[in-house]
């Protein structure tokens, strides 16, 4: 008789599992297909003694490089380690302080790709991460036309997903946990956890709507649920194209033998009503403005990534 399958193994039957970490030494045990990084994750990793030498290596190899270049080189250095462990793609993030500058996003993305190529990382194994601002989405559209694939992050509002689909970006990362956080905080004492769990979780509902819209309308952009707070949010999205999961939650999934079934499917989405939508810049900005959660979480996310980039610069200077 077969041993019961753990939830992580079961999940991989329905969804591509991605590791959400800069801690590449943890990756191999979970055997993810892809991996994602961001400034916060790299900052967290380089504060561990085993990763501190990476900063020294980058500085020693490029002693006269300006700080913005050193940041990108450190991102690529982590990417180099990660692609040696995983079979798929690694996401590398453009500095969040450029989130409202389309041309600067394009320029930095191309520099990261060039640095990665010099480090032996093929372009097809990289996703450039950009914030899902209007400027970030348009930059991604430009880059995609040149064969540079992008992962649009900090995605909270439905209009962001629609615009990403229109720009033909490779992949989006809607943030399940941060949406959940906003609604929970907003409800305050009126929040009832049991009423907002699994498929009633506001973050889960957001990703489900995007997934169904894309599949119904033949949009090729991959949907990768991100930023999970608990295993229930993950299992409720089994069947999503990809899910990027922290090592802590990957550990919980691998330790559980609870049954796990597919929830989302392209076939089911085809039967739903989800008429195609389109946004120009003015309509996009108004739709985002009308979504208080999306507006607040996008701004907060950019601020947090920018703050961590500044902390990372301080560590590099001190090394």
Just list the catalytic residues: 129
Decide if 296 contacts 46 (C-beta within 8 A).
no
Helix or strand or coil: residue 16? Answer: strand
Task: Give the span between the Cα atoms of 103 and 91, in whole angstroms.
Answer: 20
Distances (CA, A) of 241 to 8, 11, 197, 287: 15, 11, 21, 26
Decide if 105 contacts 167 (C-beta within 8 A).
no
Length of the chain: 319
Task: Give the span between the Cα atoms of 71 and 39, in whole angstroms.
Answer: 9
DSSP 32-95: -SEEE--HHHHHHHHTSTTTHHHHHHHHHHSTT--HHHHHHHHHHHHHHHHHTT-SS-EEEEPP
């Amino acid at each position: 008789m077969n041993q019961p399958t753990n939830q992580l193994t079961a999940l991989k039957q329905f969804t591509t599992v991605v590791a959400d970490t800069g801690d590449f030494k943890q990756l191999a045990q979970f055997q993810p297909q892809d991996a994602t990084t961001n400034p916060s994750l790299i900052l967290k990793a380089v504060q561990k003694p085993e990763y501190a030498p990476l900063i020294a290596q980058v500085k020693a190899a490029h002693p006269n490089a300006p700080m913005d270049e050193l940041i990108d080189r450190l991102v690529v250095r982590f990417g180099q380690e990660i692609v040696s462990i995983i079979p798929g793609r690694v996401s590398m993030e453009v500095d969040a302080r450029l989130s409202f500058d389309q041309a600067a996003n394009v320029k930095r993305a191309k520099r990261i790709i060039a640095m990665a190529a010099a480090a032996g990382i093929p372009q097809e194994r990289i996703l450039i991460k950009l914030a899902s601002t209007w400027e970030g989405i348009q930059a991604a559209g430009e880059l995609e036309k040149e064969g540079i694939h992008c992962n649009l992050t900090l995605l909270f509002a439905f209009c962001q997903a629609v615009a990403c689909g229109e720009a033909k970006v490779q992949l989006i990362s809607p943030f399940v946990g941060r949406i959940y956080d906003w609604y929970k905080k907003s409800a305050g004492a009126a929040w009832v956890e049991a009423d907002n769990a699994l498929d009633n979780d506001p973050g889960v509902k957001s990703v489900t709507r995007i997934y169904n819209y894309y599949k119904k309308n033949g949009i090729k952009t991959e949907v990768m649920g991100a930023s999970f707070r608990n295993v229930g949010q993950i299992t409720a999205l089994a069947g999503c194209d990809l899910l990027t999961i922290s090592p802590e939650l990957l550990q919980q999934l691998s330790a559980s033998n609870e049954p796990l079934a597919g929830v989302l499917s392209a076939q089911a989405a085809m039967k739903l009503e989800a008429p195609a939508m389109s946004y120009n810049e003015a309509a996009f900005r108004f739709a985002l403005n009308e979504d208080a959660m999306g507006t607040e979480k996008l701004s907060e996310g950019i601020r947090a990534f920018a703050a961590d980039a500044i902390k990372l610069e301080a560590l590099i200077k001190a090394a």
